[in-house]
Amino acid sequence: MNPIVLHIDGTEEKGSDVVFCAKEGMTDITVMADTIPSESTKHVTGFLEQYKETFSSPLVVVRDMSQILERCVTEVFPDIPQQIYHFHFVKNLGTEVLRDIYFNLRRKVINTRMVP
C-alpha cells in the first residue's frame, strides 16, 4: 500500500471502550479500527505500531489536539509531519481564544431577556 494521508481519532461513550480508527484522508475509507480500553499512550501507541507494521508509515498524520496523540504519533512516526483537524482547531479557538467575547455577549443577551 502506498503511503497515505492518515486520519486518526477515537470515540467513546462514558464507561465504554474507545473505538479508535485510522482512515485514509482522501477517500475517508477506514483502513483500520479497533476497540481499546482508553485513549492512553500505551493503547494508542500499540494501535499505531500495528498500523505501521501492516501498512508502513503515512505521508502525514491528521489528528485532534490531544497531547497524548501528539506524543504517540511522534514516537511511532518520528519523521512524519502532523496536522490538526480544522474542526477541532476552530472549536478550541472558539472556546479558548474567544471565551471572554462569548461570555460577554451571552451575558448581554441574557440581560436583555432575549433568552430565558
Handedness of CA 24, 29, 32, 37 (dihedral sign): positive
**CATH for 5-84, options being 3.30.420.10, 3.30.420.40, 3.30.70.1140, 2.40.170.20:** 3.30.420.10
| Model confidence pLDDT, tens digit, residues 17-42 | 999 999 999 899 999 999 999 999 99
CA distance 79 to 69: 15
Cα–Cα distance, 20 to 8 (Å, whole number): 7
Model pLDDT, residue 113: 66
CB-count exposure of residue 6 (10 Å: 0-12, 13-18, 19+): buried
Q: Determine how β-strand 29-36 pairs with β-strand 18-24.
A: antiparallel
The residue that leads in pLDDT, 1 or 24, is 24
Q: Is the per-residue pLDDT at 115 higher than 50? A: no
52-104 pLDDT, tens digit each: 999 999 999 999 989 999 999 999 999 999 998 876 666 666 667 777 887 78
